[in-house]
Each structure stands twice: as C-alpha cells, then as structure tokens.
Chain A
Amino acid sequence: SYVLTQPPSVSVAPANTARITCGGKNIGSKSVHWYQQRPGQAPVLAMHYDRDRPSGIPERFSGSNSGNTATLTISRVEAGDEADYYCQVWDGSSDHVIFGGGTKLTVL
C-alpha cells in the first residue's frame, strides 16, 4: 500500500520560512492536499491540488509537488501557524485515502 512520510516535527522562528515535506513514491504524479489541525480543533484544508489555496488561507501558504516529494511552505511564519500539518493523497486503484503521519510545526 502507498505510504506518505512526513518529518515528525519542524521548528521555525517567527517571520522565517517553514517547509514541511511529504515523501511518497512518485508522489509528483498524484494530487496532494494539506490539512492544518490546531490543538483541540478539527482539521482544516490548507492547500489542495498541490498548490491551490482554499479561500481563507493566507497567501503566505504555498505548495509544490514534484518527483518523490511534496512541500508545504509557510512564509513569514506567525505564532498562529503553530499546528499539526497532514498531507493526503488518493489511491485511485483501490479508492483508498492515505494520510501522512503528520508534522508538528513549532514556532520558537
């Protein structure tokens, strides 16, 4: 079955850039979606179709996907960005959904 690999944690100082990666075999051939989950809250779609921002998501959030790695980039990081971030893809052959293990973003 398809596996998505994320770093357990990423730390960044305020105003700097955070990059959260999601690794998978030939993930560049799939559409990758990202979810932000703040403590005690439900997930929120933060990026879809690799690089499209849903309404309400700041322009500081961007995405890319190529080869074996998809990346969620958060520029000018703020304290409010501190959350868990999950990548997600769809396996069309089985019609199953796969989530990455999640990355905890800590703002120093």
Chain B
Amino acid sequence: EVQLLDSGGGLAQPGGSLRLSCAASGFTFSNYDMTWVRQAPGRGLEWVSSTSGNGRSTYADSVKGRFTVSRDNSKSTLYLQMNSLRADDTAVYYCARDRRSSLTRAFDSWGQGTLVTVSS
C-alpha cells in the first residue's frame, strides 16, 4: 500500500524558513516524480513544485527562487525547503506521487498534509 507521510509544518515568521518532509513507502520511490501541492485556508489547490527521480525540478512562479525541492532516494523521502516565507505562503502542504508521462502529470496518491502558518 502506497503511503505518504507529510511532516515539518508549523509556525514561521515572515522572512523565516521551514523544511517540510514527506516519507514514502509501499513503492519504489526513485522510480517516480514527486510533487508538492498547497492549499491556503478556505481556498483551492495550488501546485508548488515537482521533481523527477533524478532530481530535475520545476517550480510555480509564486515560489521560484524561495523554495527548493529535493529528495533522498535512499531514505524514500521528499523535502521542501522554504525560505523567505511570506504570509501568503500560509497553507496546508501536501506531497503527492506523480504519474508523469510525456503527455501529462497526474497525482495518484497524496499525503495527509502539513500546515504551515507564516505570521509574526
């Protein structure tokens, strides 16, 4: 059974940093792209970043230059380093397994989410 466990959320000050983790199990982690999606309180889903099995990454314009996605395939863990945090980064952050193909990306398993609150 595929399982994704998100962690690392919490309260951060504006301009501060936070690192999220996503521990994966039940599948060969290195064979899959992985993606972060966030959801601000009462709002819809927003794609944040995706990374390939070998670490090639892409970012939403809203986080590019501030967030960095990485992965440790030996630990089956995905990370999101968030720097220069702003109030509008406040959201629940989900990791998702990414069924990337030449035609599309689709997310077939999701973590339970971890809440990031940016406030002074």
Contact = CB atoms under 8 A, between A and B. Distances in A.
Interface of A: 30-31, 33, 35, 37, 42-45, 48-49, 54, 84, 86, 88-90, 92, 94-102
A103 to B, nearest CB: 10
A102 B43 CA distance: 9
A98 to B, nearest CB: 7
Interface string B42-53: 001111001000
Interface residues of B, number: 22
Contact of A97 (B44, B47, B94): B47
Contact of B106 (A33, A42, A98, A101): A33
Interface centre among B44, B94, B105, B106 (most CB of A within 10 A): B106
Given A95-B58, A96-B58, A97-B105, A86 B110 contact: no
A49 to B, nearest CB: 7
Contacts of A37: 45
A42 B47 contact: no
B110 A99 contact: no
Contact of B44 (A33, A92, A96, A101): A101
Contacts of A42: 94, 110-113
7 closest A-B pairs by CB: A97-B47, A31-B104, A102-B44, A42-B110, A95-B58, A33-B106, A90-B104
A49 B104 contact: yes
Contact of A99 (B46, B50, B99, B112): B46
B90 to A, nearest CB: 17
